[in-house]
Structure 1
Amino acid sequence: MAKYVLWGRYCENVLEKRQPYREAHLQGLKQQQAQGILVSLGPTVDNTHVFGIYEAADEATVRQLVEADPYWQHGIWTDYQVYKWNQVF
């Protein structure tokens, strides 16, 4: 499995706007982690960006997971990029 880095942006006023979708979002992430796909994910300290590490068969799988997430579907994440990652250490 290859590793991929997710780098994205949050909407403005994210802490308030995410509330209705937060539980479903967290449940989905827990499921991805239990399946061994999601290594780590979280916001920057200023809550403007999201960073994640995935281990998946291909980039399309990562994109499908991101776009199925309630945060993407409801505009909490406003854009994202996925990069194949060469983990050295």
Structure 2
Amino acid sequence: MTKYVMWGSYCEDALERRKPYRQAHLDGLSQQKESGVLVTLGPTKDNTKVFGIYDAEDEATVRQLVENDPYWKNGIWTEYQVKEWIQAF
């Protein structure tokens, strides 16, 4: 498998706006983690950016996971980038 990093941005007022979608978002992340595709994911301390590491077959898989997340579908995440990552250490 190949490792990928994902950087994205949160909308304004994300902490409030995410409330209706938070449990579905966390449930989906738990399933991804259990399956081994998600290594880690979380916000920056100021809640403006999201960072994730995935262990996936290809970039398309990561993009599909991001775009099916309730935060993406409901505008909590406003943009993202995926890059193949070489874990040196």
CA offsets per residue over residues 50-71 of structure 1, 9 Å max, x none? Answer: 0000000000000000000000
Aligned length: 89
1:42 aligns with 2:42: yes
Q: Distance in 2 between matches of 1:6 and 1:16?
A: 23
1:12-60: per-residue Cα shift (whole Å, max 9, x none)?
0000000000000000000000000000000000000000000000000
Identity of paired residues, percent? 70
Runs of 4+ in 1 over 3 A off after TM superposition: none
RMSD: 0.2
- Structure 2 CA distance for aligned equivalents of residues 88 and 13 of structure 1: 36
> What code does the residue aligned with 1:41 have?
L
Matched, 1:10 2:38: no
Matches of 2:12 and 2:83 in 1, distance apart? 24
* Mapping of residues 58-69 of structure 1, within 5 Å: 58-69=58-69
- Flag structure 1 segments of 5+ consecutive residues without an equivalent: none
What secondary structure sits across from 1:71 in the alignment? Answer: helix
Q: Which runs of 5+ in 2 are unaligned?
A: none
Q: TM-score, length-normalised on structure 2? A: 1.00
Work out the CA distance in 2 between the residues paired with 1:9 and 1:71: 11
TM-score, normalising length: structure 1: 1.00
